Homo-oligomer: A and B are copies of this chain.
Amino acid sequence: MTNPRTHITLEHVAQAAGVTPMTISRFFRTPQKVSQGTRERISQAIEKLGYVADSTASRLAGKSRPMLAIVAPSLDLPYVPEIIEGVSEAADTVNAALMVFETRFSLEMQEKRIEAAIGWRPDGIIFVGDTVSDRSRRQITASGIPFVEAWAASDTPVGVDIGLSHRAIAAQMTGALIGAGYQTVAFGVRRLGYRVEVERLDGYLDAVSSAGRTPLVVDIADPGEHYKAGAMILRQALDLTSRPDALFLAGDVLAAGAIFECHRLGLAAPLDLAICGFGDSPISASIVPSLTTVRLPTRELGYAAVGHCIAGVPERVGLLAPEPIERESARLAFE
């Protein structure tokens, strides 16, 4: 609880303005039903006392101050803040507050965080995570809170699913690299234990096998920093028995790290090795050589998710389809 001594409530404002608490409540809710004079006295009392209405009490009593919860693995990934930015932008249009719950890539934590989120009775839960446990599903259903999966498409969605098929996207990109003439396309992931990474890997495997090629995977479990992980993947890719002429990385920051490592080793992308990323992070357009990648509609996803939780969010026509972007680091060709 907040400091009990200096805790201003409706009651205090009411006294200062010489009316009942009810009138103060009206002042906020339906000011036109409060007389001009009273309104002014109330307004002065509020400013003087520095009163701020208690949203939690309002909620309990029935008037819903909008609030959303977002459950995501960690802010230490380029796409999570991006999605949140989209959520926040949409939330602003209806003055919704935002809670953020991090799962830290653990399914156990994820279950706990979903439970915590439900406990705060948000108007919606926007979910950027892994498979939802049965226990969570029961709780979500029982709570009646809209639950939007906004990153990885689910086979068995709990609520609304506006997620992407990372598998299909990875397959498409792999195909585009093969189509561009690269003979040996290797794939690099940093497996954090989350489903999307596996999906991207599977997508790569799909495309490679359907092209009749041999898969070449560098799969590290390094929990460290992304750029360094990318460098590590690059070095391991160069050590593979059959040396690849293209390296497809499951993330743009990883790819940027790989490009930096190329500089360090005196290799030139794409001449010595083509490099392709995933996600179109801000760095990708600026790095030298600029990074071929696939743009994912992260912000749009976040924005759209809010519309499924709260009414009154202005619709926006945003492209929700992933968009391959050919830049300097690798060629791309589609059938």
Give the B-binding residues of A (Cβ under 8 A): 1-8, 47, 49-57, 59-60, 62, 64-65, 67, 74-76, 80-81, 84-85, 88, 92, 95, 97-102, 115-116, 118-121, 123, 135, 138-145, 225-228, 231, 256-257, 260, 263-264, 282-283, 285-288
Contacts and interface: CB of A to CB of B under 8 A. Distances in A.
B144 A120 contact: no
Contact of A8 (B75, B97, B143, B263): B143
Given A54-B121, A118-B52, A121-B56, A231 B286 contact: yes
Contacts of A59: 1, 56
Contact of A98 (B60, B65, B100, B121): B100
A1 to B, nearest CB: 5
Contact of A57 (B49, B55, B60, B264): B60
B287 A55 contact: no
B85 A50 contact: no
Contacts of A288: 260, 263-264
A142 B51 contact: yes
A3 B54 contact: no
A102 B92 CA distance: 9
Contacts of A84: 75, 100
